[in-house]
Every structure is written in structure tokens, then in C-alpha cells.
Amino acid sequence: MKMFYPLEDQIKKFKKIVFVTGAGISQESGIPTFRGKDGFWKNNDPMKLATIDAFYDNPKLVWEWYNERRKNIFQAQPNLGHKAIAELEKYVEVVVLTQNIDGLHQKSGSTKVLELHGSIVRIKCSVCDYQEEILTKISGLPPFCKCGNILRPDVVWFGEPLPQDVWQNAIKFASQCDLMIIVGTSLVVSPANTLPIYAKQNNATLIEINTENTEMSEEMDIIIRKSSAEALPKLVSLFKNQL
């Protein structure tokens, strides 16, 4: 329990915990990150696969790439990090603000998850309000909506705004938490990287769990240079023992 030692005398004061999670937590479930040494963007040009212009230029190519990602994600299972976050709900109020689009937090049992960048499970029409969850391979690429327009993955691409209802709720939860735990994110993508600032304004304690330094490491109260699968179960054990 040494890695969380500074928290032991404070556990009882934490009533509202917010997790901000990124690709690092899902990497331990076999889903590649975007910016790491083996990340997606090392071998693929995001401007050709993850922008609205790229989609309209070559929707079939974009959909082929997303079909491969969907296949990988649907085979992935929550790891000990995901499961620990879900288990923590037994002891304290927990909200997960995730940049991930893989649905692994929900699959692990977390009940309050805000998907800042959308979900690869869902598809939506590029024009009308049609939206649906599809857990199988998308055939007939590119797929078309009943209204005649192209369907697209319900994810946030480069240059697109976050869903405003989700983002406003994320700000609210970040601004009201007692403890924010930032897991597996490099904190370089805006506006999600501003969430720790909102928490700090509420005098929340900030914990960073990441194997590498991030853009905001110097702002953290506690830094854990361990994987989420190693660190988070120990954090849950601390709550079990103290509450």
C-alpha cells in the first residue's frame, strides 16, 4: 500500500471521486494507444482517417479502418484497472470521464460513465438524428441511413466539438469532486485536458496514474508511475480498509 500512503489519513473525507481516463488504461486490454510508440498515429495519418473531410473524401476507407478497430475492441475485455474503478462504486460516489470510445468501463460495471469522445459501438447519420448501437461488423461500406445519407461512427473527430451536454456535465462533476484520479492519459488533447484544472479550483486532490510523465505531472498532488491494472486495485483495497 506504500504507493498511496499519503492518502491513508484522508480517505474518509473523499465523498465524490472523478476518474479521467485515456488510452493507457485500455492498452492493458490489448487496444493500441494513439500517441505511444506503437500507437495508431505512428502508422496512420489522422487527417486521412479521423476528420470529417477525410470521411467525405473517402468514406469507404474510413469505415474499413473503423471496422478493424471495432473488431479489436469487441474482442477486448476489461482489465483489473477497469474492474477496480467499477468496484469502487461500492464505497463512494464515482463518475468516470473517459476519452476512450471502447465501452470497457461500462462492460466492467461502472454505472456513471461520460464518453467525452463518443463511442465506436454507436453509429449515427451524418445528417439526420438517427443513432443506433451495433455490436457486429458493418457491411456494405459505406453504410447508408434510411434518409439516404451516409452513416458514420458516433465518435468525435479532429476539428469537431465535444457533445455539449456531455461536456457540460463533465465540467460539473470535475468542479464538484473531492478527488480526481487521472489514469492513462497524456493530457494533450483539448478540452479534456482542462478537467484537472476545474477539479483543482475546488481544492480537490489530484492523483496521476501513468507509466510516463504527462503535460500536467507537475500539477499533481500524488504521482503513481505504475500501470492502472497494478495501481487501481491497491487503491480500492485502501478504501475497503478505511471505510
Q: 186 labelled as ligand-binding?
A: yes
Q: Residue 153: in which H helix or E strand, if any?
A: strand 151-155
Residue 99 assigned ligand-binding role: yes
Contact 224, 207 (CB under 8 A): yes
66 is in an annotated binding site: yes
Residue 71 has a CB neighbour count (10 Å cut-off) of 11
The reply, when asked if residue 53 is annotated as ligand binding, is: no
Q: Is the C-alpha dihedral spanning 108, 111, 117, 122 positive or negative?
A: positive
Is 101 annotated in a binding site? The answer is yes
Q: Which of 105, 117, 124, 200 is catalytic?
A: 117
Annotated binding-site residue? 24: no
210 is in an annotated binding site: yes
Backbone angles phi, psi at 121, to 5 degrees: -70, -30
- Using the 8-state DSSP alphabet, how is residue 3 labeled? G
147 among annotated binding-site residues: yes
Please give the Cα distance from 234 to 222 (Å, whole number).
15
| Segments of 103-239 assigned E as strands | 113-115, 118-125, 131-133, 151-155, 179-183, 205-209, 222-224
Q: Is 228 annotated as a binding residue?
A: yes
Does residue 117 carry a catalytic annotation?
yes
Active site residues: 117
Binding-site residues from annotation: 66, 69, 99-102, 125, 128, 145, 147, 184-186, 210-212, 228
Pick out the residues of the known binding site for NAD(+).
Answer: 99-102, 184-186, 210-212, 228
Residue ranges for the binding site for Zn(2+)?
125, 128, 145, 147
